[in-house]
Structure 1
Amino acid sequence: MCYLLLITRHVIEVDGDRVLTRCRNLFKLFDLLRLLSPTLSPADCKLHMAVWNGKEHPLDVFLAGDFEEWQRWQTKRNFERRFVVSLINIHGTDNWVFGGLYEQIGVEYKKESNDFYYDLEQVQYCAELSGRLVVKFSRNFRASYLLAERWSEDLLVSELKSERLTLSEFPGFKSVNLSKRELDCVIRQSIPSWKGALSSVSGVYVISDTMSGKLYVGCAYGEGGIWSRWSQYSSSGHGNNVELRTLLNNLGAKSAEAFRFSILEVADVHANKNEVITRETHWKEVLLSRTHGYNLN
């Protein structure tokens, strides 16, 4: 689809189409959507302002490719309009990533979980904007499900990225801080920069449980390094650690989604196993992960 937005001088050619890359004069979201679908009305739309729900951040879910299914599950009948406009908060800012325009086909009550499951079908003429369009909206209240006509004038387009938002390239060992969903995405896609870095080193890592605040300190050594070890966590959630396995057995496998993965220090992938374990012991003592965390030894 070819469209021209005459609101900025910053336009570029992408596959023969001229698209907005960054607005100097902010443009309203629904004005843009109506360029693609002239009959779309805010009165037919519900806004889903997706934010941290106490367990997981929707941006992590989106980057992992699970947002559409995640959004379908609602504790109340939140999407009682023909269309849902999904906006995903960028951590700690007034910026929101456009997650898509969805048509609400139907809803089913799931008695076993006391949830409502919505049949939402992404509207394809707006699909190319998903993960690329950034909207500025200052939300000074807690409500996450809004009537679009009340707020359409406040939803301002600030950017249209040339490519869909994805997990960034490997940021360096000192900056690694992955949610479980992000780790799953990295492992599933075998993102080259991540795999290359993590498989080339041994080291000591920490898993933070964002629900309980407890820590687990572990180490990785030998062939495949940290990449091989973290692949096991991605697959099982607990990596065969006794305390983590017990936790998941008691609370359910989904409780692993509260985990975050960081690196405390690295060593050569051919480093002596005992040297790596010694450093692991040091960090267990420093972080008190035996007395106040998930380490048993």
Structure 2
Amino acid sequence: MMTLFSVLNLHLHLPDVAPELCKIHLAQSNNDSVLDHFYAGTFQSWQEGQTQKNFGQAYIISLIQLPQKNKWLFAGCFRSLSVSSEKINGYWKYETEELTECSELEGRLIIDFQRTGRASYLRAENWAEQLTVAEFKAQRMSVQEFPGYNQTSISKSTLDIIISQQIQSWRGALSNIAGIYLITDTNTGKLYVGSATGSEGIWQRWSDYSVNVHGGNKDLKEALKLNGSDYSRHFQYSILEIADTHASDQDILTRESYWKQVLRTREFGYNAN
């Protein structure tokens, strides 16, 4: 069975990246979606901010937890160059350098590893033989293709990637339908029900949210004013009901009102009317 380190050392000819010189970072989502950082190209800078001095080795092997049991995405190998002498905004700031020799494996190599405890920073020498290769994807993982209208649930950062990169499967699906959508504040549980009509349907409405977050809604504006623009990371976007773009505006508004009533978003959510 091939291990991660056999791939690094034998196939990429990186014998210096030995287990005794490496820390394994098991990156998991808490408030931030780590996969979203990886998709957006901000994973390295995200990883460089640590609440503790976690990277006390020459190299960092970064693995991102996937939804599948015991599966981790190889996100890169980094040389640890330095760490700040004091915390900056509550974080120890590391300076790291990506090993470009590993770039061909990033987002393609899936590692099988059963973590026995809750530790996220492991001495590689103690676990090297258990980090086995489960899959080598033909292409780098990116934002998943459109999963279907009844399975759409994405974060603000994922929405931004979809809109900025104009991912065709999402644009094709969302621009061909009108309908009712839901914004969930995952921090408070408050909901906002909205509707989309017109030739570009939900795609155009969600594009507006990607640009200005609030889409003109008074209560969402207030939440962002109170908590700061970064609060948008708590927003999740999903679809409640669809109709083709030829449905009348009045029909869509009637269904929007129905969902507001069912979910009580006027009384307890972000809908002011």
TM range (shorter): over 0.9
| Counterparts of 1:170 and 1:148, CA distance in 2 | 37
2:178 aligns with: 202
The Cα shift of 1:46 comes to 0.9
SS of alignment partner, residue 275 of structure 1: helix
Cα deviation digits, residues 128-187 of structure 1 (max 9, x gap) = 000000001111311111111111121111111111011222222112111111111100
Give the TM-score taking structure 1 as reference length.
0.87
| Counterparts of 2:69 and 2:32, CA distance in 1 | 17
1:43 aligns with: 20
2:39 aligns with: 63
The Cα shift of 1:127 comes to 1.0
Shift of the 64–241 alpha-carbon distance from structure 1 to 2, 3 Å rule, reads same
Answer yes or no: is the 8 Å Cα contact 2:87–2:93 preserved in 1.
no
Shift of the 251–220 alpha-carbon distance from structure 1 to 2, 3 Å rule, reads same
1:126 aligns with: 102
1:289 aligns with: 265
| Counterparts of 1:93 and 1:178, CA distance in 2 | 21
The Cα shift of 1:109 comes to 5.5
Structure 1: runs of 5+ lacking an equivalent: 1-25
- Aligned 1:83-94 pairs, distance under 5 A: 83-91=59-67, 93-94=69-70
| Counterparts of 1:290 and 1:283, CA distance in 2 | 10
SS of alignment partner, residue 238 of structure 1: coil
Equivalent residue in structure 2 for 1:170, among 135, 146, 155? 146
SS of alignment partner, residue 121 of structure 1: strand
Shift of the 39–110 alpha-carbon distance from structure 1 to 2, 3 Å rule, reads closer
Equivalent residue in structure 2 for 1:236, among 201, 212, 222? 212
Answer yes or no: is the 8 Å Cα contact 2:60–2:77 preserved in 1.
yes
Give the TM-score taking structure 2 as reference length.
0.94
The Cα shift of 1:245 comes to 1.3
Q: Does 1:78 align with 2:27?
A: no
2:160 aligns with: 184
| Counterparts of 1:109 and 1:242, CA distance in 2 | 43
Structure 2: runs of 5+ lacking an equivalent: none
| Counterparts of 1:187 and 1:220, CA distance in 2 | 16
Task: Report which stretch shifted further, 55-64 or 128-137.
Answer: 55-64
SS of alignment partner, residue 86 of structure 1: strand
The structure where strand makes up a greater share of residues is: 1
1:34 aligns with: 9
**Runs ≥4 in structure 1, deviation > 4 angstroms?**
109-112
Residue identity opposite 1:145 in structure 2: Y
SS of alignment partner, residue 106 of structure 1: strand
Residue identity opposite 2:28 in structure 1: V
Answer yes or no: is the 8 Å Cα contact 1:109–1:115 preserved in 2.
no
Q: Does 1:269 align with 2:245?
A: yes
Shift of the 132–92 alpha-carbon distance from structure 1 to 2, 3 Å rule, reads closer
Answer yes or no: is the 8 Å Cα contact 2:17–2:59 preserved in 1.
no
Answer yes or no: is the 8 Å Cα contact 1:28–1:156 preserved in 2.
yes
Cα deviation digits, residues 56-87 of structure 1 (max 9, x gap) = 22123222332122111111211122111000
User: Over the residues paired in the alignment, what is the CA RMSD in angstroms?
Assistant: 1.5
The Cα shift of 1:271 comes to 2.5
- Give aligned-pair identity as a percent: 45
Answer yes or no: is the 8 Å Cα contact 2:3–2:129 preserved in 1.
yes
Number of equivalences: 271
The Cα shift of 1:102 comes to 0.6
